[in-house]
Amino acid sequence: MAFALVIAAVLVLSAVLSPSALALPFGNNIEPESASVRQIETGSACSATSGEILSEDPCRPWCVCKDGVVVCAEIFCSAENDIPDTCGKIKVNGRCCPTFVCIHNNGSASMHYPLPLTVVPPSMYEEKVSGELHTEKRSPIHALRRPKFL
């Protein structure tokens, strides 16, 4: 009975999500394949003096080149050790953090969407003007690309 409910929950999800973006919450928590995602590392060298860098990494949604060095905002997911053993992980392409489907003792199922934490390093806003360090007073929200919800 519980297995049938998990299958029903997965079918409901597949109606909302693209089938190719869904990893089943059984076995080894299989993660979907991604087509040649370019990994950008904070601290890597970049050729531009400054400017935004296209990042295909959903956990680093916004990167800039500052004085020849890449600086990225990073998304951190909630600890998975707080998730009960009766839950399975569903990883969706284009999203940093997984979703969890949980089976309860009464046979019902529920979805859990842990909230991610986005950390923007101060160096993304620091500017050197006439040799002095200034910090811009603006929010990166306008620059973040919105995640694609399928």
For 51-79, how does the pLDDT look when each residue is reduced to its tens digit (9 = 90+)?
A: 788 888 999 988 888 878 888 999 999 87
Mean pLDDT of all residues belonging to the chain: 66
- With a cut of 70, say whether residue 112 has pLDDT above it: yes
For 4-53, how does the pLDDT look when each residue is reduced to its tens digit (9 = 90+)?
A: 444 444 433 443 343 333 333 333 333 333 222 345 566 566 776 567 88
Tokens of 109: 């199922």
Alpha helices in the chain (DSSP H): 2-16
Burial class (CB in 10 A: 0-12, 13-18, 19+), 100: buried
Would the pTM count as exceeding 0.75?
no
Percent share of the chain, pLDDT over 70: 52
Q: Where are the domains of the chain?
A: 2-143
